[in-house]
Every structure is written in C-alpha cells, then in structure tokens.
Structure 1
Amino acid sequence: MPSNTPSTSNGPWDAKLQQFHGGQDWAHLDNFVEDFSVTTNAFGMPEAAKLAAIQSVEHGHHYPPADQEPAKSSLARFLWPEQFETEVDRLILGNGASELIDLVIRMAPEGTWKPGPFHTQYKEYERSARNNDYEMLSSDSADKANVVSLVNPCNPTGDYLDLPELKKWISENTLPGGYVLIDESMQPWHSPQFREHSLTTQREYVEDLYKTQGISVFVMHSWTKLWCCTGLRLGSVVCPTADHMRAIKKIQVPWSVNTVALAFLNAVVTDTVYLEKTWEMTPEWRQQMIDRLSQMFPTWEFHGRKFLSWIWVDTKSEEVAERAIDLAKKAGVPVRSGRPGYNLPTFIRLAVREPAKVNVLLDAWKAI
C-alpha cells in the first residue's frame, strides 16, 4: 500500500488499494463551474479532434487496429517532424501513461527504485514500484538505484531540469544495467521549441548510455493534459530501442488503446493553431493568477516554471489550505489538495484557467 495513504475523503478511490489522484470532485457538484484540480489545458478539447473522436464511434463495432496505426505514425511526426520514419519503431501507445509506466516497471531489473530529486512527484511510479516489490530509496539517498523515475517538469511541484541537469542526474543515480523512466508529459507546454529541450530528441545520448552502461532510458508521455482529453486515456513511451518497444508490446494487452482515442490522437497532432494559442496564453494567464493571488494572500508562495499549466501554492497553513479547498468546492471550482497522495497539507494546486473562471474562484476565497 502506498506510504502516503490519503487521510481525507477520497470519493470513488479505494484508499486501501489505489493511489489517490485528483479530478473526481467535479462529478459530485451540483453547481460545477470549472475544474481547477487537474492540470489540463485551459482551452478544453480541440474541436476538430473532438469531432473526429465522435465520428469514430460509427466504427465502434470493429476492433481498433492492433498496430495502433495511423495514429502512432501521426504522433511520431509530431515528436520528430523530420526523422519520424527512423524513430517510429521506438514508440508505442498506451491506455494512458499509467498503463505504460506499469508495463515498463514490470520489465525492469529487480532491486531498488528511486524517485526524482524534488520534494514530491506524480505518485504512479512509486505505486507501480511498490506493487512490484522494489526496495524504495528516498530521493536524497546517496545510493544509485536499479530503476529511477523522474517527472520533468515535475507535477505537482513545478520543478524542472534542463537537459544538462537531467543527464547529470541520470548519471549520478542509475546503476549500470538500470532502467530510467523520465516523464515528459508537461514538456510540450515549454514553447514552440519544446523538442529541442526534450529527451525524445537525444537519440545519440540514449544509444550511448545503453551501449556503454546497459542503461535503458524511457521517455513517458500522458497526452491527456496537453490536449485536455483525460477521459480518453492516451499515453505513449519512447523506448531506447525498437527491441524494448517490442518487449512492451509482447506483454501489453491487445487493443489497449480504443478506436475513439486513436481517432482523436490522429487528428489532434495537426492542430497547430491550438498549440500556438496554448503557448501564447498559458504563461500570460498563469502570471495574472499569481499577481492577483499575491495581492490577496501576501504570505503565500507560488512555485513552478512560467510555462506550466498549473501553480503549486504553499499557503503556509494547514487550516488555510483546508479552508481554501472547501470554499472552492462549494463555489463549484474545485482545487487539488496537497494532503491526499502527497502528504503536504499546507499546499494546494491550481490549474491555469481563463480570467472569467478565475474570478469565480477568487470571489469564493474572499471569505478566507
């Protein structure tokens, strides 16, 4: 069982069996306005891709393609616009990143597991490592591990390692023959140049690590945040070699990505207007939120890079954090508590949203 077992009401989550995750409160609110508890794109599902997903239901009486095509190649073109034909064999899709995280860790060498260097990170890696009987090392342990997992940019803390820092961390924390899982789900928010800052484009580095030290680097993505489609369950992993990809495919349940999700992905990767809007407005709206919150609550601390789709907030008080969470929920704009899952009760996480929706949240917080 995860060490940070939730201590508050978890709605549909079975606290004895499952790792807590946010995004559940909205369905139980009669006055729901906006979900600030999840780090999805403020612009919602892209319309053309949503239409493609809806239309795909017409083919719901057929099995989805077992090779995940053409959606997989379309995603490869998105990741590697010029080299996709030589890279696509390292790519595989999954039913959300969670499925792929679990599959990779099942394949990994036995022994020790270690998280990234940040205060906390997305807990699915820890959950899978515990379920597979790894010895858990702390992030500040001096020991190298057989399996390491780093979320970069880190959800929820907002910490971020540039490529030289990331490579240094991998070198200092991974045993020869080990597995490295780097979660870049929020990396595409970086800028139009996100590929230049991503491990997905570092093929020579990844190949060298594998050839010289036997270290296998997997780059994980959940695509449901960037394109606001969490209900579709859509993830991918870029493997160090095509052989690693085939090893995952061998143990993956057939047709794990459904027809609707594949149709959505195949269409959404070409929506450049949506991404340009995201890159332009997310930093602007995020800074506006921080400026307004700073005026209301001068003692609060705000964490995270400017391009991120959320703000990690330390209210400095458990009581204040709980009050903020309760008031937000009552106003139909739930936020994420740092208590369940992360065991950081003074923290809350706020998604970046358009100013009109932010007004509702801040009006509710005038009572704090």
Structure 2
Amino acid sequence: MSENGTLSSVWDTKIQQFHGGQDWKQLDNFIEDFSVTTNALGTPKNALEASREAVSDFENHQEPAKTSLAQFLWPDDYSKHKDRLLLGNGASELIDLVIRSAPSGPWKPGPWDTQYKEYQRSAEANGRNALRSQDGTRATLLCIVNPCNPTGDYFNVGELKQWIIDNVKDGGVVIVDESMQPWLSSEFRSDSLTSQHEFLASIYLENDISVYVIHSWTKIWSCAGLRLGSVVCPTAKHCDALKKIQVPWSVNTPALAFLDAVVKDHKYMERTWEVTTKWRAEIINRLTVLSKAIVEFRNDEKLAWTFHGKNFLSWVWIDMKTVEIAKEAVTKAKIAGVPVRSGNPGYNRPTFVRVAVRELSKVDSLIQAWITLGIR
C-alpha cells in the first residue's frame, strides 16, 4: 500500500499514470467520494435509465447521440459543425489519437503550476520531449486543460486564443481540454473555444495550426464508468483522419444512449449552475474555520490554508502548507469513509489536497473527520 493509502493492485505506477477515484472501493464505511471532480448532483436519472435499457440493444451507431451532442454544443447552427465532432471511449482515447496524429516535435503543457497528467503520459509514450510550461519556445504540440484540473486556473476565451498564438509553431497542433468548462454558467458556450469558428478556421488556413477541443463528459454528468468523450476537430477532414486510426465501435451502446438522453436534461444543468457555486463557497467557509484552528494552535500565520480555483468549479484545490498536515488529512478522510485526493501521487504537490464539491450534509462528515487536524 502506498503512502496515501491506495492499493498497489489498482495502479502499477511503473507503467501507468496514477489516477485518483479508486480509494472508495476498499472502504467498508464509505459515505461519499470527495476525491473525484464529478457533479455533486450525481448521475441524471433519466439518462441512467436510458443507458440501462440500451444494454439489451446490440446495435452500435453514433447517431442520434452525436447529433444530440452537436445540438448541445451549438444550439443555433449544429448542422454546420456536426461533421467536425467525433465521439470516443472517454477523453483518454481521443487525447491519444490526436497526439499520435500530430507532427513530430516537442510538446508543451498549459501555463499552470500542474495539470491533468494524461497529456504528459501520451506525449511521453509517443517519444516527445517536453518544454517547460513557462518556456518561451514555441512548441509543435500544445496541450492545455482549461479550466485546469487540479489548480482551478482558467483563461477566458480571449486569453486562451492569445496564449495559443504565442506558444505554438506554424504547422503545429493544439489540444484544449474544456472538460470542466460547462460548469461556468448557462452562458458557457460563449466563452468556449468551440464557439470561435472564425478564429479556428483562420489559424488553420493562415498558419496551418490545427486546434482540437476535447471534452470528457463523465464529470459534468457524473458517469465515469461509461467512458464518454468527444473532440471537436479543426475540419471534417481532420475528423476523418482520426477515424482512420480509431478502433471501430469504441463507444458502447449504453454510453451512446446515455449521451442522447442527458444532453436534453436542461433542468439538471440549471440545477448544477445553481448549487455548485453556493456549495463550493460554503465548503471553503467550513474549511477556513479548520485552518484558523491550526493557525491558533501552532501560533503560526504561515500555516493558513489557501484555496485555489474559480468559484464555479466542482472542486477546491487546497494548499495545507505542510506535508505533515496534508498526509494527515488524506489518512483521516479515508478512515472516515470520505476519501479526498492527495496532491502528491500524480501531481507531485505533497502539501496540496483536492476536495470535491458535495451536498452539504455529506460535507459534515468530512469536517468531522478533520476537526482535530493539525492539532495535537
């Protein structure tokens, strides 16, 4: 067992990139999983039922699910852009497809302190050298997670376009991961790169720069086990090129049925935008009380926790300032049946802990587990 309590049988860290979200399976007293950034509302019931019914359907066609997702992304002109959309077996499959198809050369992550590691894993597996995120050198391949998981940083669409212009070589490829972007608000589409049709077309025609926008839909709709992702390609031709190297029928029938139903559940999205920001603010308030207790007990203002991330996001990235307290927090949360995500494995940020936004009655259990944290 590793230092953060994850069984070695779950991840072979010699050959696999560590990923959270497994601890709850080993808990006899499980209450709530605070280690994953899925929607606090849980899985939409109607979509889940559609997925269950589809188990007996042995046909496998991306339609009508792909058209339904296109309508979700582009309500007013989906027919113009549908051919640029490709579904995949989770975002990971699509990340690997795009990176394998990109021209050879170095890659660069987004400018954040750290980000979701699947891009690094895929780039290294394909023999690419990495540039530092703050390196001014233009890269052949850019990979930015926006909003950034886990740090919570976010570029608005204007800042994002400028960062792309400043950091990619002509003839290069850009992957923008917007998996957490739909949490922004009901106006998320207007601040998404998927809405920037003229920019995407011009940067391709004038500079031969191909920009792909990837979504993992398993977080916003809390359906991680279904493996459901999509990529918006620069052109339909780019989409066809990815299909040629994609495993056929990679998206299963239950996932397609789920997608077709869930994009029509407008009340679920409205409720998500309504409660996530409120619950996140209240969680930070409660955690701030715990932080103040540690500061007072140890008489050290430097130990005050800092909370990172935009207010609309489904998690809080917490710097607990010491490795000791962060490790204690992970251990106590797991013992109490409310696992959180350590920032050490995977992200190499040993003083950080990531806590998912959850319904406030479940947060009570986490606060109780941490009530004596750092005080002894």
- TM bucket (normalised to shorter chain) is over 0.9
Alignment of 1:23-102 (within 5 A): 23-59=21-57, 62-65=58-61, 68-102=62-96
- SS, match of residue 350 in structure 2: coil
TM-superposed CA distance for 1:140, in Å, is 1.1
The residue that corresponds to 2:220 in the other structure is 226
Larger mean Cα displacement after TM superposition, 78-87 or 7-16: 7-16
**Count of aligned positions:** 359
- SS, match of residue 371 in structure 2: helix
TM-superposed CA distance for 1:295, in Å, is 1.4
The residue that corresponds to 1:284 in the other structure is 278
Kindly indicate whether residue 272 of structure 2 is the aligned counterpart of residue 274 of structure 1. no
- SS, match of residue 318 in structure 2: strand
Q: In 1, are the aligned partners of 2:4 and 2:327 still within 8 Å (CA)?
A: no
TM-score after normalising by structure 1: 0.96
Q: In 1, are the aligned partners of 2:4 and 2:330 still within 8 Å (CA)?
A: no
TM-score after normalising by structure 2: 0.94
Q: Which residue, out of 152, 157, 160, partners 1:163?
A: 157
The residue that corresponds to 2:301 in the other structure is none
Distance 2:105 2:3 in 1: 30
The residue that corresponds to 1:3 in the other structure is none
Give the AA of the match of 1:33: I
- SS, match of residue 366 in structure 2: helix
Distance 1:199 1:69 in 2: 24
Change beyond 3 A, Cα 1:7–1:113: farther
RMSD of aligned Cα (Å): 0.9
Larger mean Cα displacement after TM superposition, 347-356 or 292-301: 292-301
- SS, match of residue 215 in structure 2: strand
Kindly indicate whether residue 333 of structure 2 is the aligned counterpart of residue 337 of structure 1. no
**Which whole-Å deviations, capped at 9, do the CAs of 1:135-181 have from their partners, x for residues lacking one?**
11110111000000000000000000011111111011100000000
The residue that corresponds to 2:147 in the other structure is 153
The residue that corresponds to 1:109 in the other structure is 103
Kindly indicate whether residue 209 of structure 2 is the aligned counterpart of residue 215 of structure 1. yes
State percent identity of aligned pairs: 59
- SS, match of residue 367 in structure 1: coil
- SS, match of residue 310 in structure 2: coil
Kindly indicate whether residue 15 of structure 2 is the aligned counterpart of residue 17 of structure 1. yes
Q: In 1, are the aligned partners of 2:60 and 2:249 still within 8 Å (CA)?
A: yes
Distance 2:308 2:325 in 1: 18
Distance 1:96 1:240 in 2: 20
**Which whole-Å deviations, capped at 9, do the CAs of 1:235-274 have from their partners, x for residues lacking one?**
0000000000000111100110000000000000000000
Kindly indicate whether residue 367 of structure 2 is the aligned counterpart of residue 362 of structure 1. yes
Q: In 2, are the aligned partners of 1:75 and 1:269 still within 8 Å (CA)?
A: yes
Kindly indicate whether residue 188 of structure 2 is the aligned counterpart of residue 194 of structure 1. yes
Q: Which residue, out of 300, 305, 322, partners 2:305?
A: 300
Distance 1:345 1:315 in 2: 9
- SS, match of residue 289 in structure 1: helix
Distance 1:249 1:58 in 2: 26
**Which whole-Å deviations, capped at 9, do the CAs of 1:275-322 have from their partners, x for residues lacking one?**
000000000000000011111113110000000000000000100000
Q: In 2, are the aligned partners of 1:63 and 1:255 still within 8 Å (CA)?
A: no
Distance 1:273 1:281 in 2: 12
- SS, match of residue 325 in structure 1: helix
Q: In 2, are the aligned partners of 1:44 and 1:227 still within 8 Å (CA)?
A: yes
